[in-house]
Each structure stands twice: as structure tokens, then as C-alpha cells.
Amino acid sequence: MSETIVSQDLAALCFDNRFTRHLPADPEPANYRRQVQSACFSRVRPLRVSRPQLVAYAPEVAELLDLDLRTPSSDILAEVFSGNRLLDGMDPFAMCYGGHQFGNWAGQLGDGRAINLGEVLNSRGEHWMLQLKGAGPTPYSRTADGLAVLRSSVREFLCSEAMHHLGVPTTRALTLVLTGDQVLRDMFYDGNPQHEPGAVVCRVARSFTRFGSFQLFSARSDHETLQKLVQHTIRCDFPHLGEPTPEARREWFLEVCRTTAEMVVHWMRVGFVHGVMNTDNMSILGETIDYGPYGWLENFDPDWTPNTTDASGRRYRYGQQPRVAMWNLMQLARALVPVFESVDALQQGIDLFAEHFNQTSANMSLAKLGLSPQSRESDVQLLDDLPGLLQLAEIDMTIFYRRLARLPLSPSRSSEAPDRSGGHPGSDDAVLLEALSDAFYRPEQMNNEKQDRMIYWLRRYRARVAQEQLSDSERRQRMNAVNPEFVLRNYLAQLAIDRAVQNDFGMIRELMEVLRHPYDEQPGKEEFAARRPDWARDRAGCSMLSCSS
């Protein structure tokens, strides 16, 4: 296909750049590091790269833009989505925002290595912002170079799409492009920087506005710009609320709190740990944003964090995520006080978050067991006991739930009452334990006492299943709809990165295909659902990650 036709295909993208059209811009056109006042963004062009190469793309994201990426040549796609070629209608800019980092106010932050190309208006009337991550320095880059390396870009690209197919609210990823340039990074912050391949990810979202976007203007007492941003956000990102009247503002904040709660419930459901829940990394849309040092729980540990920067305090550990989300919402509420007539509306949102999270989380926990929401005191104890059981032998959470779904627990086998007598398991109990053993990283830790605890819980669970009169097949179907077989395990992402560094991108594409169907059994792909191998237990990139990109 000729380049002319290719260009015409991409040129069909319709840009309707509401953010830069409606909100105040930085009047300084030069691209140098500085404090930007009374502006929501600075216009800036992406840095030109030497040899862009398309590595992978997500067809489903292209469909959101009415774009068929199978049509243009890979060279043209690489040129456009590396930032080397701007299409008609693009209006590239970096956003200005602040935020709390690890609980401390950091002042101005902004898009230090992300450049928004513009908002695409598709045939369904939806607006989608295109953003290049790793496209060069901006006024907000501080001492950094604004670039990204291949390893972090692979992780961002794969995880964005994996989360979407898991049903977790998230920003998306359209393309992954190698730049052909080397980027200097000190991966371990130990004074030994190395050159690594550079890359750019094109991220896609309805909006990249963050909690910190509002916080910065409030902290600066720039209430005029804060007011404009709130009005724009309600009109453009929450159009169903109508004009930004006081009532619409109240409903807006309630919705932000509700969707944030639902997002975190989904994180907990699939065992995802964000790793860096700073307020500048919280989307106003309740979508997962900024995939830095994230990770998935493998052996169940509520205190685990994937972020080496957080290793001592573990502020952003798995079990702490709901509390941090609420704390972040409280910081947003404080920032919004100057543009709300009453703090009562803001307090209602915070209260709603706690109520909605608790109820939705309880329902999710029951759904993971294949059970319907019930007002049963016994359910509370059943759910409360499970996290402790999952730590008995370093049990893999993802595998545990899938194996639990396979257990024969039909009502015909459920007449026996739970037994606290202890003792060695009988033959039936031994079968149940053996069926779960695939999930144990440390089976030798399952002594008689721990086996008795697990068996007692399984008997209570079987009795609860009998009360609901669930057949084995019905329960399995329910459980497998919410408990994935495949997640982006930390070591799998690292293996894909290792091969990509050697110019072998096959595993990235294979993982993409597997992760498009995370709840399905996929014959021949069992290796992607297996326990983490021992060699990956403490290897860099497979356990904890730094904020280095």
C-alpha cells in the first residue's frame, strides 16, 4: 500500500482538542524546566527519535479510534506514534499538576515524560486522548530527560491491556515503539547507570486529569484556574451531569469517590498492586493510571509492595490500597473546598467511598467463592479466615481460586457438619488438599496443624455451598468468571523484556494474545498460568521494581 493511502488512512482521525481549546495555556513557548503558573498545560513537541520501530499494537484500542492499524505500514505507524510525525489537528501538550508523593506534598509535578498529542473524536461521539509516554522533556521534567526505556514500556503496554481484559477500569495502550536510541538509567539507584533501549508507548484514555491536577491550583490559591478546570472536567468528562451547578458538582465528587472504590475493589479481586498510589497517579475517572512499579500477588502477602522505593514503609502495599485511596480522596476533597459551597457535599463523598467499598468488597469476596451476597454472620467469618489460610504455605492467590473452583463440593457430598476435632485428614480431605497443592509455593510448611485449619475451612465452605444448593458446574462457572486463570505475572513480563532486548518480540505478542482471554482455559498455554518459578523469587524485575524507567 502506498504511503499516500496510508497517510490518508491516519489523516481520517478527527481531532477535537477541547482541553487545549477551553483551558488556560502556559504563555511561554520555549521548552525548559520551570514553575508554570495559572496554566493547565504547556504546548511542547515530542523529541525526534532516530530509528522508530513498531513492536506491537492493540487492535481493540485502535477500534476505539475508528482506526485499522492493519492497513498502514509499520514504518508510518512508528513515525506517528513515536512522535516523529504530527498529524493534522494534533496539538501536543504536557499537563500541569501537583500531588502528594508517599504522603508528602511535592508541589508542581506535571507530565515530565508524557506528551498528549490531542483528543480524537470517534464516530460514536467519544473523545479519546492520545498520549506518548517517553517522548522527551517538557517544562515539568525537572532533572529528568523525559524518556522511557524498553523494559518499563513493555510492562506499561502489556499491563494496560491485560487490566482491561480482566475487567479492571484502566487507561489503554495503543502502540509500543522502539526509538532506536539508547537511554541512560540507574535501575537500582546504586551509582551504576547503564544504557538501555529507548521506547515510547501511546496511551489512550478519555481523560488523563488526575487528583493532583486540582490540588496544585488549590495549593497555590489559584481559585480561578481551579474553577475553570472543575467546570471543564464536569462538562467534558462527566457530560451526563449537565452544567456544573452546585448540585452537579456534588454528584461529580460522589461519582469520583464511587468509581475510585470500584477500581480498588477490582485491584484486590485480581491481586494487583499499583505500587505508587501518589495523588498525581489517581485518575479523576476512577481508572488505573501510570503503570510504574506495579505487580501481581503471587504468594499471598497483604504486606507486599512491588516498589523498592517503598520497601521500608510499605505505604502502598496490597492490603493498604483501600485506605490509601480514601486518604487520596480526602486530599482531593480538601483541594476542592474553595469551589464548593459546602464541605458537606465533600464529606458525603468520603462517606460514600467507605460504604461503597465495604459493600462492594464483601460482595466481590463472596463472588470469588461462587456465592451470592447474603446477610449471614457465618459468611463474615468464612471470609475473614481466608486471608490467614492463604499465608499458611505461601499460597498463590490466582491459582488457589481456580483450583478451588474445580473441587467436588456438590450438595450430595455436603451433609457432614464442620468438624473442629482436628487429627489427620481423612481420604476425602486428603483429596481436597491435594487438589489445591498446585497453589503452594512452600508445601513443606503445611504441617498437621495447618492442614487441619485448611480442612476445617474447606468443610465450612462446602456446607455454605450446600446451603445455596449450587452444583459443582454452576459454582465453577461463577468462580471462573471473576477469578482469572491468566494474569501478567511479574516474571512473565520480565521474560518478555529479556527477549525484547535481544530483538525478539514474539513473547510480547504471545502474552498479549493470552491476556486477551484471562478467564478462559487455553490449551497449550498452561505455562502462562503456572506458579512463579523459584529462580524468579528474588530476581530484579520479577519481585520488586524501582521507579526508574
DSSP string over 400-444: HHHHHHHS---GGG--SPP----SS--HHHHHHHHHHGGGBS-GG
pLDDT band at 541 (very low <50, low <70, confident <90, very high): confident
* pLDDT for the residue 421: 44
| Spatial distance between the Cα atoms of 58 and 61, rounded to a whole number of angstroms | 5
Amino acid at 167: G
Per residue in 286-299, pLDDT (tens digit) is: 999 999 999 999 99
Task: Give the helix/strand (H/E) hosting 255.
Answer: helix 246-270
In 71-137, which ranges are E strands? 93-95, 98-101, 104-108, 114-121, 127-133
* pLDDT for the residue 422: 45
In 245-358, which ranges are E strands? 272-273, 295-296
Per residue in 391-442, pLDDT (tens digit) is: 999 999 999 999 999 999 875 554 444 555 444 445 588 888 999 999 999 9
pLDDT band at 377 (very low <50, low <70, confident <90, very high): confident
Under 8 Å CB-to-CB from 525, ≥6 apart: which residues?
486, 514
* pLDDT for the residue 23: 98
| Spatial distance between the Cα atoms of 393 and 145, rounded to a whole number of angstroms | 44
280 is catalytic: yes
- Across residues 498-502, what is the average pLDDT? 96
* pLDDT for the residue 427: 58
Rg (CA), the chain: 25
- Across residues 270-297, what is the average pLDDT? 97
* pLDDT for the residue 2: 37
- Find the catalytic residue in 111, 237, 280, 301: 280
| Spatial distance between the Cα atoms of 448 and 437, rounded to a whole number of angstroms | 15
- Across residues 453-462, what is the average pLDDT? 95
* pLDDT for the residue 115: 98
Cβ-based burial of 241 (10 A; exposed 0-12, middle 13-18, buried ≥19)? middle
* pLDDT for the residue 414: 44
Q: What angle do CA 415, 420, 424 make, to 5 degrees?
A: 95
- Across residues 82-104, what is the average pLDDT? 97
* pLDDT for the residue 190: 75
| Spatial distance between the Cα atoms of 522 and 528, rounded to a whole number of angstroms | 10
For the chain, what percent of residues have pLDDT higher than 70? Answer: 95
Under 8 Å CB-to-CB from 394, ≥6 apart: which residues?
299, 300, 301, 440, 441, 442, 445
- Across residues 229-252, what is the average pLDDT? 98
Under 8 Å between Cβ of 462 and 414: yes
3-class DSSP state of 306: coil
DSSP secondary structure string for all residues of 7-57: HHHHHTPPB--HHHHHSPBPS--S-------S-SEEE-PPPP-SS-EEEEE
Per residue in 227-237, pLDDT (tens digit) is: 999 999 999 99
Contacts 24+ apart (CB under 8 A), 530-535: 531/298, 531/396, 531/399, 531/438, 531/439, 531/441, 532/298, 532/299, 532/396, 532/441, 532/489, 532/490, 532/491, 533/491
Under 8 Å CB-to-CB from 461, ≥6 apart: which residues?
369, 382, 409
In Å, the largest CA–CA distance within the chain is 78
* pLDDT for the residue 60: 96
- Specify the DSSP class assigned to residue 445: G
Per residue in 30-67, pLDDT (tens digit) is: 999 999 999 999 999 999 999 999 999 999 999 999 99
Cβ-based burial of 434 (10 A; exposed 0-12, middle 13-18, buried ≥19)? exposed
**Which range among 242-246, 307-311, 360-364, 373-377 shows the weakest confidence by mean pLDDT?**
373-377
Under 8 Å between Cβ of 173 and 203: yes
What angle, rounded to 10 degrees, do the helices at 246-270 and 343-368 form? 30
Per residue in 193-232, pLDDT (tens digit) is: 999 999 999 999 999 999 999 999 999 999 999 999 999 9
Closest CA relative to residue 197, chosen from 494, 488, 498, 492: 498
Under 8 Å between Cβ of 152 and 290: no
* pLDDT for the residue 375: 62
* pLDDT for the residue 188: 72
Cell, residue 537: 523469587
- pLDDT for residue 3 is more than 80: no
- Across residues 137-164, what is the average pLDDT? 97
- pLDDT for residue 523 is more than 90: yes
| Mean pLDDT taken over the chain | 93
| Residue 289 or residue 11, greater confidence | 289
